[in-house]
Structure 1
Amino acid sequence: MSQQAILQEAALIRSDAEALEVAHQLAAEFAVEAGVRDRERRLPWAELARYSASGLGGITVPREFGGAGVSLLTLSQVFRILCAADPSLGQIPQNHFAVLELFPLLATPAQLRFIYSEVLSGRRLGNAGPEKGKQPMQQLSTRLSREADGLYLSGQRFYSTGALFADWIPTRARDESGLTVQVLVPRHAPGVEVIDDWSSFGQRTTASGTVRFDRVRVEEALLLPVWQLADRPNLTGPISQLIQASIDAGIAEAALRDAILFVREHARPWLDSGVSRASDDPYVIQAVGRLQIDLHAALEVLDDAARTLDRLRTGEVTDAISAEASIAVAEAKVLTTEIALQASEKLFELAGSAATRARHQLDRHWRNARVHTLHDPVRWKYHAIGNYSLNGVFPARHQWN
């Protein structure tokens, strides 16, 4: 499908239940060739067109602006459902929803009407991630310069999940005063170059590569003053992290599902087991039971974190509320990280050497889990949780907390 494919008119999803129903329908479609797309690194243009036409991209738009205004619990479950089918495809909208959380905090009424209209029509927001190089994640060399005839953006970013497929690319830059702003850039504006140089061994079709901005003309009306959030408690970081944990949960569900299926249908019992089916091997039964418990625990903590965020966002967000939200999601992130890695690794031990054959494509679960769980180091989640519980120290407030 052409990268310039005409966007279908998006359907309008009106409730949480409808959002989940649509997610299940799309997941059934996306799962069919997920392994083929991974093996061939076939970018999911057609699948994303289906996603956009379904209306899922607009489910968090508030009801007063014509959207469904779904809960964060529903948003988390939508990501889980899609990522259990194809986590590369399911990850692509992560920044779309994370960026949308900034608008109610910072946008003017006109900006809100514009972005919500775009999203409800099926337009996709991508991402231009951290600066390329070894500098700290939050260091910005991307600049927004004011010249006689307007504003111009220049810089280079990486980890730009979704940018290749986007209609709009949000990115952060320093303005002429040194303040951090969020800039919304049309994907095909002159001076924008999206380079498909993502070569990871996992999450292979997210196209999370490089974006270059070479004196890109920027409209003043498409700027958000994100510098105002530096000293203002908010839930944008925890919500972004909730999405990341949901992606890992989907990977874990897929890995355990395929492990059980392979053991039932293909694996041979070990000769010392004395049983005729691998599924009757007592050690296999015990291991599957352990994985099922750990997955159930991770999903319950993830859902609890989502409900916590839904509760906390209804009132004033203080420093203490922001910290509570970050810790709730950090606990979920630890468990979803661990079960995604455990289930995708244990799969081979339970299923045997036959499961490693390329035609089964079961290695993609571990590759996806290993790559995506590196998004932000889980060791710092342990630190945040321990320091909060032991010393009452609030975690740092940024998009990775």
Structure 2
Amino acid sequence: MAQQLPLSTGTDYDRLAARFRPVFARIAEGALDRERNRTLPYEPIGWLKAAGFGAVRVPKEHGGDGASLPQLFQLLVELATADSNLPQALRGHFAFVEDKLNSHDAADRALWFSRFVEGQLVGNGWTEVGSVKIGEVITKVTPDGDAWRISGRKYYTTGSIFADWIDTYAQRSDTGADVIAAVSTRQPGVSIADDWDGFGQRTTGSGTAVYENAEVAPGHVTPFGERFRYQTAFYQLVLLATLAGIARAAERDIAHEVRNRTRIFSTGNADSVARDPQILQVVGEVAARAWSAEVLAVRAAEPAQRAYLARFGGDAAAEKQANIDAELESGKAQVVVADLVLRATTDLFNALGASAASGPKALDRHWRNARTVASHNPLIYKSRIAGDHAVNGTEPPYVWQIGAGKGAN
């Protein structure tokens, strides 16, 4: 019989969101300045920690909110509307929380849940760049008595610069087995740099982490094969919520600009831009795309919640189907949501004229951020996987890697 552990099945969303909306509003106030000056959001991350945001998925019995996955991603849409960098900065944290939610080890769950409730955050350390080939892992963990030592270098360590721990993909030096190591950032052997050079999402803290014989505590190294099954879908769902929030922010800003614009074109249709039917049509289309993106992002999270619950339901067939659905639906939503949001963040300029290109307004950040987020997990491959399942019934891959091909020099 499946082990009975406290689960996060959902809560009153309106009450939950009401607790965080003042924090989101405060975050939104400084978002433009952070964009202009590339200021990392240490202070906003601190506000979210203090409000308990990192524990919304923790079961109520352990001091969290017990939110469902659709509720988590709805919250992330709201946060992304305030500042799209922040959900992505917390992506690794919520994935690590999800992994602990899927664990059957009650003691390990309790340990990490208490840390999350205290406000501790987890970053991400998975990707290696350079000459590393697909399937290779240069970062190594080595047994050291009851503990471990880790050495290596990771890039795209999104959010780790703000975190207390880094969820690190590594390989055991003694057996060659792939593992996950939870590495404390509060030690001399770990350094993190903000050297992400992308044109969008510039304050996510997506830089380089270096481990130099750093310590990993006993019990903080686990086999990669035990990782929660719908992890790839989960990571994609965070990006979907981020895209939906970007679209909502674009809708907010285009409405504000049109409402307050005093100059008109002689070729227009009214004595004010705010009453020009063609301009209103553009605003309405941006609003419609933003609404659709949000609906899709939240709806796509439902199979992942079913997969989480099925993990403890004792029905292997139901769990497998839920994981297939989670992967396929998150991928199909990615294809559509990316298109909706990229169109919305481009079309907003059709309503505003050349003045919208003003640097201080930074309205271009919405497109730059959306284009950057949409470039994760290539859309063309997601489309192919969905098509292969529709035509041939092929089960989607649950884990994928990036690296140099075998023919690379």
Q: 1:177 aligns with which of 175, 178, 181?
A: 175
In the alignment, which residue of structure 1 is the partner of 2:24? 27
Deviations 1:34-57 (CA, angstroms, capped at 9, x unpaired): 010111111111111111000111
Deviations 1:355-401 (CA, angstroms, capped at 9, x unpaired): 1111212121112111122121122221122222222112111279x
In the alignment, which residue of structure 1 is the partner of 2:200? 202
In the alignment, which residue of structure 1 is the partner of 2:76? 79
CA–CA separation in structure 2 for the residues paired with 1:191 and 1:80: 35
The 8 Å contact of residues 172 and 181 in structure 1, kept in 2 or not, is answered as: yes
Any idea what SS the aligned residue of 1:144 has?
A: strand
Change (3 A) 1:373 1:70: same
Any idea what SS the aligned residue of 1:113 has?
A: helix
AA aligned to 1:213 is: Y
CA–CA separation in structure 2 for the residues paired with 1:141 and 1:267: 59
In the alignment, which residue of structure 2 is the partner of 1:188? 186
CA–CA separation in structure 1 for the residues paired with 2:396 and 2:175: 28
Matched, 1:354 2:349: no
CA–CA separation in structure 2 for the residues paired with 1:101 and 1:75: 11
The 8 Å contact of residues 289 and 344 in structure 2, kept in 1 or not, is answered as: no
Change (3 A) 1:113 1:174: same
In the alignment, which residue of structure 2 is the partner of 1:7? none
In the alignment, which residue of structure 1 is the partner of 2:367? 366
Q: 1:254 aligns with which of 244, 249, 266?
A: 249
In the alignment, which residue of structure 2 is the partner of 1:395? 396
Change (3 A) 1:34 1:399: farther
Instruction: Name the TM-score, length of structure 1 as normaliser.
Output: 0.89
Any idea what SS the aligned residue of 1:130 has?
A: coil
CA–CA separation in structure 2 for the residues paired with 1:271 and 1:203: 38
Matched, 1:140 2:137: yes
Deviations 1:241-292 (CA, angstroms, capped at 9, x unpaired): 2111101110111012211221221264432224212233333233333333
In the alignment, which residue of structure 2 is the partner of 1:303? 298
Aligned-residue RMSD, C-alpha: 2.2
Change (3 A) 1:336 1:328: same
AA aligned to 2:374 is: T
AA aligned to 1:329 is: S
The 8 Å contact of residues 41 and 203 in structure 2, kept in 1 or not, is answered as: yes
The 8 Å contact of residues 275 and 281 in structure 1, kept in 2 or not, is answered as: yes
Change (3 A) 1:307 1:108: closer
Any idea what SS the aligned residue of 2:219 has?
A: helix
CA–CA separation in structure 2 for the residues paired with 1:22 and 1:112: 25
Any idea what SS the aligned residue of 1:33 has?
A: helix
Matched, 1:276 2:271: yes
Deviation at 1:104, TM superposition (A): 3.6
Change (3 A) 1:301 1:262: same
The 8 Å contact of residues 247 and 289 in structure 2, kept in 1 or not, is answered as: no
CA–CA separation in structure 2 for the residues paired with 1:259 and 1:387: 39
AA aligned to 1:273 is: G
Deviation at 1:135, TM superposition (A): 3.9
The 8 Å contact of residues 15 and 68 in structure 1, kept in 2 or not, is answered as: no
Deviation at 1:82, TM superposition (A): 0.7
Please list every run of 5 or more consecutive structure 2 residues that lacks an aligned counterpart in the other structure.
1-9, 402-409
In the alignment, which residue of structure 2 is the partner of 1:288? 283
CA–CA separation in structure 2 for the residues paired with 1:278 and 1:184: 54
In the alignment, which residue of structure 1 is the partner of 2:7? none
CA–CA separation in structure 1 for the residues paired with 2:307 and 2:184: 34
In the alignment, which residue of structure 2 is the partner of 1:99? 96
Matched pairs, number: 385
Moved more, 179-188 or 149-158: 149-158
Change (3 A) 1:380 1:67: same
CA–CA separation in structure 1 for the residues paired with 2:83 and 2:367: 13
Any idea what SS the aligned residue of 2:152 has?
A: strand
Matched, 1:266 2:267: no
Instruction: Name the TM-score, length of structure 2 as normaliser.
Output: 0.88
The 8 Å contact of residues 157 and 206 in structure 2, kept in 1 or not, is answered as: yes
In the alignment, which residue of structure 2 is the partner of 1:155? 152
CA–CA separation in structure 1 for the residues paired with 2:300 and 2:11: 24
CA–CA separation in structure 2 for the residues paired with 1:382 and 1:158: 27
Deviation at 1:222, TM superposition (A): 1.0
AA aligned to 1:156 is: R
The 8 Å contact of residues 252 and 336 in structure 1, kept in 2 or not, is answered as: no
CA–CA separation in structure 2 for the residues paired with 1:29 and 1:367: 23
Any idea what SS the aligned residue of 1:205 has?
A: coil
AA aligned to 2:119 is: G
In the alignment, which residue of structure 1 is the partner of 2:4? none
The 8 Å contact of residues 96 and 125 in structure 1, kept in 2 or not, is answered as: yes
- How do 1:309-320 residues align onto structure 2 when only pairs under 5 Å count? 309-315=304-310, 316=315, 318-320=319-321
CA–CA separation in structure 2 for the residues paired with 1:283 and 1:139: 55
CA–CA separation in structure 2 for the residues paired with 1:390 and 1:279: 48
Change (3 A) 1:58 1:128: same
Change (3 A) 1:64 1:161: same
Deviation at 1:190, TM superposition (A): 2.5
The 8 Å contact of residues 282 and 348 in structure 2, kept in 1 or not, is answered as: no
Change (3 A) 1:137 1:348: farther
The 8 Å contact of residues 236 and 399 in structure 1, kept in 2 or not, is answered as: no
Deviations 1:70-111 (CA, angstroms, capped at 9, x unpaired): 011110011101110111123211110011111243463222
Deviations 1:5-40 (CA, angstroms, capped at 9, x unpaired): xxxxxxxx9854333112322111011110101111
The 8 Å contact of residues 102 and 308 in structure 2, kept in 1 or not, is answered as: no
AA aligned to 1:272 is: T
Change (3 A) 1:105 1:290: same
Deviation at 1:154, TM superposition (A): 0.8
Please list every run of 5 or more consecutive structure 1 residues that lacks an aligned counterpart in the other structure.
1-12
In the alignment, which residue of structure 2 is the partner of 1:10? none
Moved more, 141-150 or 328-337: 141-150
CA–CA separation in structure 2 for the residues paired with 1:150 and 1:320: 38
In the alignment, which residue of structure 2 is the partner of 1:321? 322
Deviation at 1:337, TM superposition (A): 1.3
In the alignment, which residue of structure 2 is the partner of 1:50? 47
Any idea what SS the aligned residue of 2:301 has?
A: helix
